[in-house]
Amino acid sequence: MSQAFKRYEFTSYISEAIQALGFHEPTPIQEKMIPMIKKGQSAIGQSQTGTGKTHAYLLPLLNQVDLSKQEVQLVITAPTRELAKQIHHEVGKITAHFPTPLLSKCFVGGTDKQRTIEKLKSQPQIVVGTPGRINDLIKEQALFVHTASSIVIDEADLMLEMGFIEDVDQIASRMPENLQILVFSATIPEKLKPFLKKYMENPQYAHIEPKQVQAENIEFILVPKKSGSKIEVLYDVLTSFNPFLAIVFTNTKVKADEVADALLSKGLKVGRVHGGLAARERTRMMKQIRDLEYQYIVATDLAARGIDIPGVSHVINFELPTDLDFFVHRVGRTARAGHSGTAITLYEPTDEDALNQVEKKGISFKHMEVRNGEWVELTDRHKRSNRKKAENEIDVKAKSLVRKPKKVKPGYKKKMQYKMDQIKKRERRVTRRKKD
């Protein structure tokens, strides 16, 4: 194991796990969070997917598990069953190096609750799962979390979007007063703050700025909505490609259903992924997506972070995300594992400020539209504003060169205006010659 991890003084078996995982240097979120977690502090870690946050909490928390106690010591909640299973899998990779077996269980919806209860005669030391199912097992007095010293709330903003914060609240209320609470989230929405305030008094805070988009393998296209329906523009965009798999992102569950229904009415076979789907419905949908039954999926940001959908060749932003950090998450669904991808953003005039902010993240867009099934390149959308800027500069110059006479005579304003107009004409001619 590298010297970088040795400074954390992990147990020998955690050190073995780190070596087996092939970790050489801690990521920025791990550097900030591991020391705080080891001290038993409650903390909020804000970072995007792919920054190593899962191991930022797993390594220090599993390091402090007491193997001699057969009781719940750690609860990890995740908004989706897919993410919960993924975390539980990572727990297994680490605990495989423990000197004595550690019992960890993954509890998610869509499974036989009664059978799960029957198997809970022996309490697991580590609990991973979705808040709804964990809370159900606590209410059934099958799972006892009052012995746990730590709880992790992963992807907290998605928890909020999917309506799970109440379940998390109920789980936390059954746990000790001196509970270590660790919240991980890409964003901290205002509606999440009352929950944080209720359970976390002066928490430590670590914020890792989102990485710049790795744009080498992604083609970024901007498509204007000029007139007519935005759905029509989307339909033209989708049918102009023959995507392996395209995800259309919307900001809300309601809008996702509206867009999916509109595309279905046009004859496209469209899947949908959002927090409003029942657990079984989403399981069925994910199986159909993985079986390549759909070429098009309409989704909320749940699909950008909470669920992994492989093989995405095209990402379409039907709406720009409210939080522009999510632009990075969305387009990061394509061009994975060395493949190339295309990210298309439909925009309206009201999106200009947001687009300017996205461009500051290092994105360079092609300005295009679909005409009769063919892609046509448009003029730079900044051209008009650049022209206005140049006109303003000419106006300023003309005004500075034409002064009001000390002694004014009738008609002096017209004469001044005439002189300024002549200067403007001359400056425009000079500007045109320079361009030519």
- Let me know: does 430 contact 423? Beta carbons within 8 Å: no
Residue 285 near residue 291, CB atoms below 8 Å: no
For residue 389, the model assigns a pLDDT of 46
Residues with Cβ within 8 Å of 22's Cβ and at least 6 positions away in sequence, in order, are none
Helix, strand, coil percentages in the chain from 3-state DSSP, rounded to 5: 45, 15, 40
Q: What is the pLDDT along the chain (436 residues), one digit of tens a residue?
A: 567 899 999 999 999 999 999 998 999 999 999 999 999 999 999 887 667 889 999 999 999 999 999 999 999 999 988 899 999 999 999 999 999 999 999 999 877 888 899 889 899 999 999 999 999 999 999 999 999 999 999 999 888 878 888 999 999 999 998 899 999 988 887 888 888 888 887 889 998 876 655 556 899 999 999 878 999 999 999 999 989 999 999 999 999 999 999 999 999 999 999 878 887 888 889 889 888 899 999 999 877 776 778 889 999 999 999 888 788 888 888 887 668 899 999 999 999 999 999 998 888 899 999 998 899 999 888 765 544 444 566 677 777 777 777 777 777 778 778 888 888 788 777 766 655 5
Pairing of strands 374-377, 366-371: antiparallel
**pLDDT score for 105:** 96
192 secondary structure, DSSP code = G
Q: Strand 104-107's sheet: what is its strand order? A: 104-107, 126-129, 74-77, 150-153, 180-185, 43-46, 204-207
Q: Can you tell me the distance from the alpha carbon of 216 to that of 225, in angstroms, rounded to the nearest whole number?
A: 27
In order of their start, the domains of the chain are: 3-207 (3.40.50.300), 218-377 (3.40.50.300), 385-435 (no CATH)
Q: What is the pLDDT of residue 390?
A: 47
State the pLDDT at residue 110.
77
- pTM for the predicted model, two decimal places: 0.70
Comparing CA positions, the residue from 295, 251, 243 lying closest to residue 274 is 251
The answer for residues whose C-beta is within 8 angstroms of residue 7's C-beta and 6 or more apart is none
**Which pair of tokens denotes residue 345?**
């953003």
